């Protein structure tokens, strides 16, 4: 499902006379399909950079990355969008499109994948009702509370039934109850086969939901975490 | 289920929020100005082409032949020198008509120099033959030699020097018009490219989000191209409409020189007198502007997107 082999990442690439410092060094691990995995580490350890590699926002500058069976270094750029559509991402800052309604934000992944409009309407409406936003389908994000925006972001990440779901500090802006509800949702998605990776530094949450973990320190993977 | 509102339907096709990023009147206004300049360049092209054609059909399709001592016998065939010249001219390939100017017509030609008494002067006048040519090229060298053998001293004037100069002038005007058109297109491309880059900078976050959700380069470039096409087309339409009164004004200035000139022509007459290519130009401006907008935005966005993985 996800395999890192001596992967390094340097923003701005390796080119130029003064390349930027490497933010991830010699990362190697493998996540089998259907796994739930915590990604631990202090702020600045490289969790977000590792997730960015996993959702193809950046490409490795060294090593080999295999995602969903595709060797990214050998995959043509034109094929990457199709891979991205099979990866869902929940961002800490939600990253909703401010000019689109909750419905349009959630429908976007399906429309990009070329789904039928009638099916999209039914699926998005059902999912938004399920996350408790059935009355706010056509409301813009700025008119939603932080928790509601979070639920829209989660709905957008899971609407296309991704095979890999990544979450970057998803509970950072939530109270304990909301965080627990989100964990139940992520666990449920994992139970039906989605591989889930959650970056967090919330030890209490991780202790309540024990699972395999990767620990990063200064851009390096620490064994035995 | 609630039917999505018009604004919801509109936002469905504006995932990147380009109605705000590429909005306002600046781009359509600049494209309208470019379209107006393009229309005026086309008017210059059409006008110089029409002038060139008129010159070729007028002076270029005529010969003047002067036969001195017209009533004296020709060397061959038998008869007067004038009759021999007329017979040779009439039989020549490419000649449409031959007309020997009458004394009255000659006097009329000479009036500016010799006054009303031109016809009564006892000057030894040559006969003047006006020859009209038709499409096929006439071998003037061979015709001149034949006339010289039959009626020595006969002069054949083909207006060649003037025609070459006028043709060069017409070609120069056409080249200037074409250069102006190319420049206008170049500036329009630059303007649309700059506006697109501004849109890319303004919507960078939205582009990165949509790109991360699996949008292809074609999808993102297509959204920009559609917006740029719409704005450029509206500018082209405004520019084309603004060109019409200018064309009418130009037609009013040119009307006195036209073959079918009338003392006072109405606006409707002037509009009807506009050459068909100019109407075609006005009709094509929005489409051409749209095509330039579409292609420029596509190329600009696709090049920019290469920076994303």
CATH label of the domain that carries residue A202: 3.40.50.300
CB nearest B214 (choices: A103, A113, A138): A113
Same domain? B232 vs B119 = no
Decide if B59 is inside a domain: no
Partners of A139 on chain B (C-beta within 8 Å) are: none
| Domain total in chain A | 1
Q: What domain range is A201 assigned to?
A: 32-59+78-222
Residue at a domain's end among B90, B120, B153:
B153
Maximum mean pLDDT: which of A205-219, B36-50, B286-300? B286-300
Give me the tens of pLDDT residue by residue for chain A, a chain 225 residues long: 899 999 999 987 666 666 788 899 999 999 999 999 999 998 888 999 999 999 999 999 999 999 999 999 999 999 999 999 999 999 888 999 999 999 999 999 999 999 999 999 999 999 999 888 989 999 999 999 888 898 899 999 999 999 999 999 888 777 788 788 888 888 988 998 899 999 988 888 888 899 999 999 999 998 654
Q: What is the pLDDT of residues B239-266, one digit of tens each?
A: 999 999 888 888 777 766 665 555 566 7
Decide if A206 is inside a domain: yes
Which residues 151-210 in chain A show a CB within 8 A of chain B? 156
CB nearest A56 (choices: B1, B210, B309): B309
Quote the pLDDT of residue B262: 59
Average pLDDT value for chain B:
84
Same domain? B43 vs B110 = no
Residue with the bigger pLDDT between A34 and B112: it is A34
Distance of CA B171 to the CA centre of its chain: 11
Residue B73 carries which DSSP code?
Answer: B
Record the tokens describing residue A79, joined without a space.
């094929």
Which of B172, B187, B173 lies closest to B35 in space, CA to CA? B187
Decide if B57 is inside a domain: no
Decide if B210 is inside a domain: yes
How do beta strands B127-133 and B62-67 pair? antiparallel
Decide if A23 is inside a domain: no
DSSP A150-217: HHHHHHHHHTT--SEEEEESTTTT--HHHHHHHHHHHHHHHHTT-EEEEE---HHHHHHS--EEEEEE
* Cβ atoms A7, A60 nearer than 8 A: yes
pLDDT band at B1 (very low <50, low <70, confident <90, very high): very low
Same domain? B293 vs B196 = yes
Answer yes or no: is pLDDT of B175 > 60: yes
Quote the pLDDT of residue B10: 55
Answer yes or no: is pLDDT of B237 > 90: yes
Decide if B264 is inside a domain: yes
Q: How far is B305 from chain A (nearest CA, A)?
A: 11
Quote the pLDDT of residue B12: 61
Same domain? B129 vs B244 = no
A139: region left, alpha or beta (phi > 0 left; psi from -120 to 50 alpha): beta
Decide if B62 is inside a domain: no
Strand positions, DSSP E, A52-187:
62-67, 70-71, 87-90, 164-168
| Domain total in chain B | 2
Q: Do the chains contact at A101 and B12, CB–CB below 8 Å?
A: no
Q: What is the dihedral of CA B15, B19, B21, B26, to 10 degrees?
A: 160
Record the tokens describing residue A164, joined without a space.
């890999």
C-alpha–C-alpha distance, residues A54 and B309, integer Å: 12
* Cβ atoms A160, A166 nearer than 8 A: no
The number of beta carbons lying within 10 Å of the beta carbon of residue B16 is 25
Query: Tokens 């994948």 map to which residue?
Result: A113
Q: Do the chains contact at B309 and A80, CB–CB below 8 Å?
A: yes
Answer yes or no: is pLDDT of B74 > 70: yes
Same domain? B301 vs B203 = yes
Using alpha carbons only, what angle is made at residue B224 by residues B218 and B229, rounded to the nearest 5 degrees? Answer: 115
Maximum mean pLDDT: which of A6-20, B36-50, B261-275? B36-50
Partners of A89 on chain B (C-beta within 8 Å) are: 212
The number of beta carbons lying within 10 Å of the beta carbon of residue A19 is 13
Look at chain A and count its residues. Answer: 225
A127 at B interface, C-beta within 8 A = no
**Which residues touch B179 (CB under 8 Å, ≥6 apart)?**
none
Among chain A residues, CA nearest to B4: A138
Residue A43 carries which DSSP code?
Answer: T
Distance of CA A118 to the CA centre of its chain: 27
DSSP count for chain A of H helices, then E strands? 7, 10
Decide if A213 is inside a domain: yes
Decide if B300 is inside a domain: yes
Q: How far is A89 from chain B (nearest CA, A)?
A: 8
Q: How far is A57 from chain B (nearest CA, A)?
A: 7
Interface test with B, best of A51, A70, A97 (most B CBs within 10 A): A97
Query: Tokens 């500058």 map to which residue?
Result: A61
Same domain? B301 vs B204 = yes
Partners of A108 on chain B (C-beta within 8 Å) are: 15, 210, 213
Maximum mean pLDDT: which of B24-28, B58-62, B122-126? B24-28
C-alpha–C-alpha distance, residues A165 and A171, integer Å: 15
H-only helix segments in B203-266: 204-212, 217-254
Whether the link from the prior residue into A77 is cis, omega within 30° of 0, is: no
- Residue B127 backbone phi and psi in degrees, to 5: -80, 140
Q: What is the pLDDT of residues B58-68, one digit of tens each?
A: 766 788 898 98
Same domain? B88 vs B36 = no
Q: Do the chains contact at B213 and A59, CB–CB below 8 Å?
A: no
Decide if B7 is inside a domain: no
The number of beta carbons lying within 10 Å of the beta carbon of residue A27 is 24
Q: What domain range is B211 assigned to?
A: 15-51+173-305
In this prediction, residues B159-171 reach a mean pLDDT of 80
């Amino acid at each position: 499902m996800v395999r890192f082999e001596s992967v390094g990442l340097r923003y701005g690439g390796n080119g130029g006379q003064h390349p930027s410092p490497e933010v991830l060094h010699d990362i190697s691990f493998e996540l089998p399909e259907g796994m739930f995995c915590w990604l631990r580490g202090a702020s600045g350890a490289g969790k977000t950079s590792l997730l960015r590699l996993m959702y193809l926002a950046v490409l490795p500058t060294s090593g080999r990355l295999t995602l969903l069976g595709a060797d990214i270094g050998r995959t043509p750029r034109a094929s990457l969008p199709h891979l991205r559509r099979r990866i869902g991402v929940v961002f800490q800052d939600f990253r909703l499109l401010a000019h689109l309604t909750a419905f349009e934000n959630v429908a976007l992944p399906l429309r990009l994948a070329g789904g039928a409009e009638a099916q999209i309407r039914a699926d998005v409406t059902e999912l938004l009702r399920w996350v408790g936003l059935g009355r706010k389908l056509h409301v813009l994000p700025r008119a939603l509370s932080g928790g509601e925006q979070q639920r829209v972001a989660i709905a957008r990440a899971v609407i296309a039934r991704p095979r890999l779901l990544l979450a970057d500090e998803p509970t950072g802006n939530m109270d304990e109850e909301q965080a627990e509800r989100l964990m139940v949702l992520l666990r449920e998605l994992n139970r039906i086969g989605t591989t889930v990776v959650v970056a967090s530094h919330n030890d209490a949450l991780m202790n309540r939901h024990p699972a395999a973990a990767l620990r990063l320190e200064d851009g390096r993977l620490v064994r035995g975490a | 289920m609630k039917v999505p509102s018009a604004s919801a339907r509109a936002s469905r096709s504006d995932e990147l929020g380009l109605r705000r990023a590429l909005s306002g009147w600046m781009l359509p206004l600049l494209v309208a100005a470019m379209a107006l300049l393009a229309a005026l360049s086309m008017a210059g092209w059409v006008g110089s082409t029409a002038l060139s054609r008129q010159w070729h059909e007028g002076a270029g399709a005529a010969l003047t032949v002067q036969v001195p001592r017209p009533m004296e016998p020709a060397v061959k065939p038998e008869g007067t020198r004038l009759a021999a010249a007329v017979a040779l001219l009439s039989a020549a390939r490419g000649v449409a008509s031959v007309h020997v100017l009458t004394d009255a017509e000659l006097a009329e030609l000479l009036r500016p120099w010799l006054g009303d008494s031109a016809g009564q002067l006892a000057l030894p006048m040559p006969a003047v033959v006006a020859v009209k040519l038709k499409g096929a090229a006439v071998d003037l060298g061979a015709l001149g030699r034949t006339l010289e053998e039959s009626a020595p001293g006969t002069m054949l004037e083909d207006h060649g020097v003037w025609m070459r100069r006028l043709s060069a002038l017409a070609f120069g005007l056409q080249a200037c018009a074409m250069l102006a058109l190319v420049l206008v297109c170049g500036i329009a491309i630059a303007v649309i490219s700059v506006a697109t880059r501004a849109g890319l900078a303004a919507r960078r976050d939205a582009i990165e989000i949509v790109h991360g959700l699996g949008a292809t380069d074609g999808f993102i470039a297509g959204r920009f191209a559609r917006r740029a096409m719409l704005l450029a087309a509206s500018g082209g339409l405004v520019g084309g409409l603004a060109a019409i009164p200018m064309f009418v004004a130009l037609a009013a200035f040119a009307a006195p020189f036209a073959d079918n000139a009338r003392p006072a022509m109405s606006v409707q007459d002037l509009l009807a007198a506009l050459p068909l290519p100019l109407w075609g130009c006005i009709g094509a401006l929005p489409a051409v502007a749209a095509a330039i907008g579409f292609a420029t935005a596509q190329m600009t966005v696709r090049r920019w997107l290469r920076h994303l993985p």
